[in-house]
Structure 1
Amino acid sequence: MADKHISVLEFLFGGGLIETLIVILLFIIGLAACYFFIVRVLKLNQENKVDPYLIKNINDMLSEARVDAAVDFCRRDNSPEARCIEKGLSRVGRPISEISNAMETQAQVEVHYAEKYVNYLASISGIAPILGSIGSVIAFAGIFSGLSHTAVDSQQLLSASFYKALSPALVGLIIGFLAYLFNNYLVAKIDYMVMKIQYHTNEFLDIINKPA
């Protein structure tokens, strides 16, 4: 019976060449997932900052017929809500349906930009566990193949190789789980942004559609 303790590095990279390459690939994928997550979180945090008086200021400017000033204000704010309202302001005087469609189209553009990299995280959350499982299956296949071609005690060989064979699957599961959490967190922030866009665009439509 083997009583040798396996170090973390030996556990992760002590298998065969293919298993080691898969573990390295999984770590690269994990770093990519962290990069995508951090970039998107910073961007969404920036995009979710909106002037709390955006609608009030636009209402005041429109009540004074200062449409150009309202457009400039939206450009300075430069939030997704302001960019959608700017599209509506550029069509003031046209039918409400045309203004609404223009803002809806801009909202779709904003959501498209917000979802950048999010689909990559969704893919990683599914691919990483599968890739890790493939690595472990290959490792176990090598172990059982070795059992049939060696005179070494099978229990000793299994105890020395079993834990190393599990490393690709474990790394894949951890990375897949983290990517899943990252994806869900970003989706929640995007949903919040969409809700704010809908609220502000509806408020803007109420302003320009109210009786004179």
Structure 2
Amino acid sequence: MLALQDTARQVADTLNHAINTPTTIPAQDLRFGDLLLKGGWVMIPLGILLVLALVIFFERYFTIRKAAKDESSLMGQVRSSIVAGKLESAIAICRNSNTPLGRMLQKGLLRIGRPIKDIEGAIENVGKLEVSKLEKNIGIVGIVAGIAPMFGFIGTIAGVIKIFYDISKTDNISMGTISGGLYQKMITSAAGLIVGIISYVCYQTLNMMVDKVILKLETDAIEFIDLLEEPSK
């Protein structure tokens, strides 16, 4: 009988010790993917916008970079052909170059014999067309830079709505209740700003590259017109 009482007392002490001893739950690291998922459905359009902006940026970047390559050799060949009186050779050189400057000079060469103003007008028109080709879809990157933060703001509103909904459903204002809405609110706001900043930098970079190409084309066009005017001086 005493043995049973001692055994029951030991079991009770063991249970009491287990209940009163705090259990330590190992902290879990929050992964980046899990963090994005907590942003909710707003992260989907933000991801699409980011991919769209980056695809257009890299496609335009390499296109503009190709158009901005040094064309001093082309100008030298055209100048030599014109001075030698080989107009057809100069036109063929411009046609084979397949560059914005080559197409501009080709248009000017085809107008030789007309007044200089007509030649300048033809070169200017081709130049505008070439610039518009370089600027294709760049405006979309600018639009992404503008609307991405707005999507982030929509996610912020959705997060606040979720907080109040969870509180009304559980009638409990605790960190566990509002944490889901807070995650969505902060993550979507940050994601919207990040996508907007990246898109804005890409947009301005492309515009600066196009401006450099325009300046170079204008400089070469002026040099070409001066070359045509030399014999008449």
Normalising by structure 2, we get a TM-score of 0.82
For residues 174 and 168 of structure 2, the distance between their equivalents in structure 1, rounded to whole angstroms, comes to 9
Deviations 1:132-151 (A, max 9, x none): 11122111112123223323
Check whether the contact 2:53–2:199 (CA below 8 A) recurs between aligned residues.
yes
Question: Residue in 1 aligned with 2:134?
Answer: 114
**Structure 1 residue 7 corresponds to structure 2 residue 27:** no
**Structure 1 residue 209 corresponds to structure 2 residue 233:** no
Deviations 1:60-95 (A, max 9, x none): 111111111001111122221111111100100100
Q: What secondary structure is seen at the aligned counterpart in 2 of 1:210?
A: helix
Q: In the alignment, residue 137 of structure 2 is paired with which amino acid? A: Y
Q: What secondary structure is seen at the aligned counterpart in 2 of 1:116?
A: coil
Unaligned runs of at least 5 residues, structure 2: 1-26
Match of residue 101, structure 2, among 74, 81, 90: 81
Percent identical across equivalent pairs?
Answer: 28
Q: What secondary structure is seen at the aligned counterpart in 2 of 1:65?
A: coil
Q: In the alignment, residue 54 of structure 2 is paired with which amino acid? A: C
Deviations 1:128-170 (A, max 9, x none): 1101111221111121232233233333323454123222221
Matched length: 206
Question: Residue in 2 aligned with 1:44?
Answer: 64
Check whether the contact 2:149–2:193 (CA below 8 A) recurs between aligned residues.
yes
Check whether the contact 2:46–2:148 (CA below 8 A) recurs between aligned residues.
yes
Output the aligned Cα RMSD.
1.7
Matches within 5 A, 1:54-73: 54-73=74-93
For residues 53 and 6 of structure 1, the distance between their equivalents in structure 2, rounded to whole angstroms, comes to 57
For residues 196 and 63 of structure 2, the distance between their equivalents in structure 1, rounded to whole angstroms, comes to 23
Match of residue 140, structure 1, among 160, 181, 187: 160
CA separation of 1:152 and 1:7: change in aligned 2, threshold 3 A? farther
For residues 82 and 57 of structure 1, the distance between their equivalents in structure 2, rounded to whole angstroms, comes to 11
Q: In the alignment, residue 164 of structure 1 is paired with which amino acid? A: Q
CA separation of 1:131 and 1:34: change in aligned 2, threshold 3 A? same
Q: Of the two structures, which has the highest relative contact order with CA contacts closer than 8 Å and spacing of 6 or more?
A: 1
Unaligned runs of at least 5 residues, structure 1: none
For residues 201 and 208 of structure 1, the distance between their equivalents in structure 2, rounded to whole angstroms, comes to 11
Q: In the alignment, residue 87 of structure 2 is paired with which amino acid? A: V
Match of residue 175, structure 1, among 195, 198, 203: 195
Q: What secondary structure is seen at the aligned counterpart in 1 of 2:111?
A: coil
**Structure 1 residue 189 corresponds to structure 2 residue 213:** no
